[in-house]
Structure 1
C-alpha cells in the first residue's frame, strides 16, 4: 500500500497547467461520452427502424413476385424468367429449382435475426402459412443460385446483372426460397438496400469520432494557451520571491495579468518595500549601537588604566573585553545573516576550493568526493560563508575533513565529515543555537553553525547534524535545485 501511495504521489500532477489539462480532458471525455451515448442510442434505433422497414418492403415485393409466378401457367414461367434475366423488371434475381438449394448462411446477429423474422412474418401473412418458406442471408461469394448449385461468381455477369449488382459495397444477400408446387422451389435473391448494407451492430461513424477528437484537441490547446498566459506573471512572481533582491536599483515587479494576479503582485511589491525599509532601519540601528558603545567602552578602558589597584584594574579590563566581544558577536550575527546579494549561477567546486585552499596545502587534510552536475543558483557570498562555517567547524573538531557531494536534478547535498569525537545525541540539535559551543575550550563564539543554517534556510535548504557510524560528526547541507 505504501509503495502504491508513493507511486501515486510521484505521478501526481503538480503544475497548474497539467492539472487544468487533466480536469478539462476528464470533463470533455465525460461530456462527450454522455452525449455520444444518447446520440448512439438514437442513431442505432433509427438504423434498426430503417432496416426493418426496408426489409418489410422487400418482403412485400417478394410476396407479390411469388403470387405473380404462382398465377402463371407452367409453360410460361420459364419464358418470364428469361425475360427478367435479359431485360429486368424486378428487384429480385428469380429462378425455379427442383429442390431447395443449401446455402452457407451468415452467422446470426441481433439485426439478422430480427430482419429474417420480419421477412418471414410478412411472407406468411401475404402467402399463407401452409407454404414452406426459407429465409436466409448469404455472403455474395458463397451465393448459389441454380439447380447445379454453382456459385454466383462462377456465372457470367449478365445472368444476374440487373438484380444482383453488388459492386462496390458487396452487401449481404437476402435469399428467399418458397416451395410453390411439389419439386418446384421459387428462388428470390436481392442485396440489402443502401444505406442499410450491414447486419452488424452499427458503430460510431468515423466523422463522429473525428469530430470528438478535434474538439478535444482544440479545447485542450486553447486552455493550455490560456493557463500559460495567466500563469506567466505567477512564474515571474515566484522567481522574484526566490531571489528577493533588496538593492534599491531594482524596479518593482510589473503588475500584469488577471486582477487576482495583479493584487498578489502588488502585495509582494509592498512586502518587499517593507522588508527593505526594515532591514535598512535595523542596519542603521546596529551601526548606531556599535558606534555609540565603542565610545563609552574606550572611555572606560582609559579610566581603568588610571586605577592604582592592579587586581581591580584587571577585573575591569576583563569585563570590558567581554562587553566588547558581545557587541562584536551581535553585529557579526546580524551582518552574516543579512547578505544583500542577487541570485547567480555559481560553480560549487570553485566555492569549495576557495574555502578549503589554506587547509588543502597539507596532504590528506581535505578530501573531496563526488561532483556537482551543474552550477547552483544562489547568493554566492552567502553560500560561501555557509560552506566556510561548516568546513571550519569540521576542521576544528577533527584532524581531517571529507566533503562528499551528491547531486540530482532536485537537490544538491554536501556532507562535511570529520574524524573528531562526535557529539552526544542531546547535543546534535543544540549546536545550531546561538552562542552554544560543544566544547567550552574550543575557540570560537558559537555562532558559525547557526549562521550556516540561517543561510541554508534563505536558499530553501537545511543543515542537519549526525554522528558517523565509524567516528566523528557529519554536517549535511541540503540545497534544493528548484525551491518553491
Structure 2
C-alpha cells in the first residue's frame, strides 16, 4: 500500500496487470466451450478417418492377417476388434469395449499404462464419477447410423457416443459381412491454466510491467523535476528554467511554471527597487529636517524633533533591510547546520552574552547560511535581552529539522504570539531603539525561515518562551 500511494509506476503497472488478467479471464470464458468442442471435433474426425482407413485395409488383405493388423493398429486410447455379428446391444458392446481397452498392447510393453477411466471402471463398477458418466452415456444412447456427410467410405457404419463425449465407438460392416469395431476414450482435460498458459501469461505480464515502468518513469520524471523546482522556488532559491519539452500537457505545465517563476522574480525585484528608491529619496528630506531642527532654540523641542527624525530614519533603513532579505540574493549551499548554530552561540558567548548550546547530532543541510545565521541570531538576542539567557539546541524529527531557542524571561501573552511577527510591532512601547529595536527582527527571521520552506513558532513555557525554527528535510520537497 505504501508503494501504491507513493509510486506512479506501481499504480500504472497494477492497472496494466489487472487489465491483462481481466482480458485473459474474459477470453477464457468465451473460448472455454469453443476449445473443448474443437478438441473433441478433431479427435472425432481423426478417429473416423483412422477407422475408415483400417476398414479399407482389412478388405484388401487376407483374413489371416486381420488379428495382427488390428492389434498393431491399437493405441493407448484406441482399440480395434472384429465380430461376426451386428453389435446391436449397446450395453454388451460397451462391456466388450472396456475389455479391449484394458488389454495391454504388446508393442507398447513395458511402458503401457491403462487409461485412467478404464482402471477406475474395472476396479469398482459402481463408484467414481468417470464410471457414472460412461454408464449413463451407454444407458441413454443407442447406435446412430452415420451419414455420408461424416463417413467417407461406402460402408454401413454406426456411431455410439461414450462418457459425456469423452469417448466414442464405431461399428463398420465390411464387404465379407464381418463387423469392424473400434472404441476411443480419452478424458479431455478441462483445465485451461496449464504450464504453457501460465508461462505465456507470465511473459506477457513481465513485458507489460517493463513497458509500464518505462512509461511511468517517462511521465513521472518531469513531474518530479517540477516538484523539486517548485520546492526550491518556494524556499527562495534561484533555479534554472525547466526544459519545455515532451508531450503537450507536460510542455505546457513547464511553460506555465517558467512564466510564474519569471513573474515572481520580477515582482520581488521591482518591489525591492521601489523600497530602495523610497529609502534613498527619504534621506534628503530627513537631512533637511535635521538641519532645520538645529535652528530650534527650545532645547526640549529640538531633542524631541531629533529623536523623531532618528526613529523615521531607523524604520526606513529597517524596511529596506527587510525587503532585501526577502529578495534573497545569497547562494544556497550545503553546510553542517549544527556546526553553524554552535559557532554562532560561541561568538555571542565570547561577547559576554549568556548563551548555552546543547550538544546536538551533526545535521547536513542545504540553505543560505548567512541569512539563516542572522535569523537565529535575532532569536538568541531577543532571548538574552528579555529573558536574560538563551539555551539553543538543534533537533531532528521524522519530517523536519528544528532549531530551539529557549529563555527564562516573562514570556509573551497568548494573544501576542503571532502579532510579534508583524513588521514594526513592538511589545516594548517606549520606542527606545536600545530596548525595543525597530520591530522588524522577528519579521525578518520568519521571512528567512519561510524562504527555506519552514516557519517560526513561539511556545509559552511554565517559565519563559521557546522559539522554534522548523526547516523541512531535503527529501520532503521532492
Q: 2:355 corresponds to which residue? A: 365
1:270 aligns with 2:264: no
Distance 1:456 1:192, change over 3 A: farther
Partner of 1:483: 477
Change (3 A) 1:305 1:407: same
- Between the aligned partners of 1:295 and 1:106, the Cα distance in structure 2 is 119
- Supply the distance in 2 between the matched residues of 1:192 and 1:462 (Cα, whole angstroms): 82
Distance 2:379 2:385 in 1: 10
Give 1:455's aligned residue: 448
Summarize the Cα distance change of 1:334–1:113 in structure 2 as closer, same or farther, 3 Å threshold.
Answer: farther
Q: Which of 428, 447, 466 is the aligned partner of 1:474? A: 466
Give the secondary-structure state (helix, strand or coil) at the position aligned to 1:293: helix
Deviation of the 1:326 alpha carbon: 1.8
Q: In the alignment, does 2:17 pair up with 1:25? A: yes
Distance (Å, rounded) in 2 between the aligned partners of 1:471 and 1:246:
36
8 Å contact 1:25–1:220 — kept in the other structure? yes
SS in 1 for 2:11: helix
Offset of residue 104 of structure 1: 5.8
1:340 aligns with 2:332: no
How far apart are 1:92 and its partner, in Å?
12
CA RMSD of aligned residues (A): 4.5
Q: Which residue of 1 aligns with 2:151?
A: none
Alpha-carbon spacing, 1:443–1:354, altered in 2? closer, same or farther (3 Å):
farther
CA offset digits 1:398-438 (Å, max 9, x no partner): 33433343324632223322222222222222222222234
Q: In structure 1, how many angstroms separate the alpha carbons of the residues matched to 2:391 and 2:144?
A: 102
Report the equivalent of 2:410.
421
CA contact (8 A) 1:40 1:204 kept: no
Could you tell me how far 1:285 is from its partner in structure 2? 1.9
Q: What is the TM-score normalised by the length of structure 1?
A: 0.66
- Secondary structure of 2:420's counterpart equals coil
Give the deviation of 1:305 after TM superposition.
Answer: 1.0
1:186-226 residue CA offsets vs partner (Å, 9 max, x unmatched): xxxx9954xx476xx52512222222222222122112212
Contact 1:463/1:476 (<8 A) preserved: yes
The change in CA–CA distance for 1:423 and 1:197 in structure 2 (over 3 A counts) is same
Deviates more, 1:56-65 or 1:252-261: 56-65
Look up the match of 2:250.
Answer: 261
8 Å CA contact 2:354–2:384 kept in 1: the answer is no
Q: 1:224 aligns with which of 213, 216, 238?
A: 213
Residues 365 and 399, structure 1, Cα contact 8 Å, conserved in 2? no
Distance 1:293 1:87, change over 3 A: closer
Secondary structure in structure 2 of the residue aligned to 1:464: strand
**Do the aligned partners of 2:345 and 2:355 also contact (CA within 8 Å) in 1?**
no
Aligned residue runs from structure 1 range 95-110, under 5 A = 103=123, 108-109=128-129
Structure 1 pair 456/121, CA: closer, same or farther in 2 (3 Å)?
same
Q: Name the SS of the counterpart of 1:118 in structure 2.
A: helix
Which among 401, 416, 419 is matched to residue 412 of structure 1? 401
The correspondence of residues 82-231 of structure 1 with structure 2, limited to 5 A, is 103=123, 108-109=128-129, 113-119=132-138, 121=140, 193=186, 196=187, 201-231=190-220
Q: Distance in 2 between matches of 1:66 and 1:425?
A: 115
Across the two proteins, how many residue pairs are aligned to each other? 392
After TM superposition, the structure 1 = structure 2 runs for residues 267-306 of structure 1, keeping only pairs within 5 Å, are 267-306=256-295
Tell me the alpha carbon deviations over residues 39-62 of structure 1, each in whole angstroms, 9 at most, x when there is no partner.
345445666888999999999979
Q: Residues 44, 344 of structure 1: CA spacing in aligned structure 2 closer, same or farther, 3 A cutoff?
A: farther
Counterpart Cα distance in 2 of 1:29 and 1:348: 52
Q: Provide closer, same or farther for how the CA distance between residues 382 and 115 of structure 1 changes in structure 2, counting only shifts above 3 A.
A: farther
| Structure 1 residues 116 and 45: CA distance shift in structure 2, 3 A | farther
CA gap of 1:103–1:234, structure 2 versus 1, over 3 A, is closer
Q: Does 1:465 align with 2:454?
A: no
Shift of the 290–304 alpha-carbon distance from structure 1 to 2, 3 Å rule, reads same
Q: Aligned with 1:307: secondary structure?
A: coil
Contact 1:59 1:122 in 2 (8 A): no
TM-score w.r.t. the length of structure 2 is: 0.67
Structure 1 gaps of 5+ residues are 1-7, 72-80, 94-100, 127-134, 137-189
